[in-house]
Amino acid sequence: MLENDTRRRLPPRLAVQLLLALCAASAAAQSPAAIRYTVDVSSPETQRAIVTAVVPASGQPAVELLLPVWSPGYYVREDYATRIERLTATSPAGDTLAVLQPQPNRWRITTAGAANITVTYTVRCTEQFVTRNWVGPDLAVLNGAPTFITLADGIVRPHDVAFVLPPGWPRSVTALAPAPDGQPHHYRAASYDELVDSPVVLGNVQLHEFEVGGSRHVLADAGAVPAAWDGALAAANLERIVRATGRFWGFLPYDRYVFLNIFRRGGGGLEHAASTLLTAGTGMSGGGDVRWLAYVAHEYFHALNVKRLRPVELGPFDYEQPPATSGLWISEGLTSYYGDLLTRRAGLTTDEQYLATLSGAIRSLQGSPGRLVQTLEQASLGIFATGGSGVGGDRNTTVSYYTKGQVVGWLLDARIRRATSGAKSLDDVMRLAYQRYSDARGFTRAQFEATAAEVAGTDLAEFFRRAIRSTEELEYDVALDWYGLHFTEAGEPLRPWTLELRPDATAEQRAHWRQLTAGEA
Q: pLDDT grade, residue 502 (50/70/90)?
A: very high
Would you state the pLDDT for residue 12?
44
Tell me the sheet residues that pair with 135: 140
Would you state the pLDDT for residue 29?
47
Looking at domain 207-518, what is its CATH homologous superfamily? Neutral Protease Domain 2 (1.10.390.10)
* Domain boundaries for CATH 1.10.390.10 within the chain: 207-518
Whether residue 4 is predicted with pLDDT greater than 80 in this model: the reply is: no
Q: pLDDT grade, residue 10 (50/70/90)?
A: very low
320-347 pLDDT, tens digit per residue, is 999 999 999 999 999 999 999 999 999 9
Whether residue 128 is predicted with pLDDT greater than 90 in this model: the reply is: yes
Would you state the pLDDT for residue 492?
59
Percent of the chain with pLDDT over 90: 88
Would you state the pLDDT for residue 390?
76
Q: pLDDT grade, residue 454 (50/70/90)?
A: very high
Residue type (1 letter), 459: D
Whether residue 185 is predicted with pLDDT greater than 90 in this model: the reply is: yes
Would you state the pLDDT for residue 14?
46
Would you state the pLDDT for residue 391?
79
The mean per-residue pLDDT over the stretch 469-480 comes to 98
- Tell which CATH architecture fits domain 33-203: Sandwich (2.60)
Closest CA to 324 of 432, 407, 445: 445
Would you state the pLDDT for residue 494?
60
Whether residue 490 is predicted with pLDDT greater than 90 in this model: the reply is: no
DSSP 8-state class, residue 371:
G
Alpha carbon separation from 493 to 358, 363, 490, 498 (Å, rounded): 18, 12, 7, 10
Q: pLDDT grade, residue 6 (50/70/90)?
A: very low
Distance CA 411, CA 416 (A): 9
Would you state the pLDDT for residue 13?
47
Whether residue 225 is predicted with pLDDT greater than 90 in this model: the reply is: yes
Tell me the sheet residues that pair with 87: none
Would you state the pLDDT for residue 1?
36
* Domain boundaries for CATH 2.60.40.3650 within the chain: 33-203
Would you state the pLDDT for residue 448?
98
Contact 99, 92 (CB under 8 A): no
Contact 519, 427 (CB under 8 A): yes
27-76 pLDDT, tens digit per residue, is 444 689 999 999 999 999 999 999 999 999 999 999 999 999 999 999 99
Closest CA to 55 of 81, 88, 103, 101: 88
Distance CA 9, CA 12 (A): 9
Closest CA to 241 of 270, 267, 219: 219
Residue type (1 letter), 37: Y
- Average pLDDT of the chain is 93
pTM: 0.92
Distance CA 322, CA 324 (A): 7
Q: pLDDT grade, residue 117 (50/70/90)?
A: very high
Alpha carbon separation from 491 to 355, 487, 488, 494, 496 (Å, rounded): 20, 11, 8, 9, 9
The mean per-residue pLDDT over the stretch 426-451 comes to 97
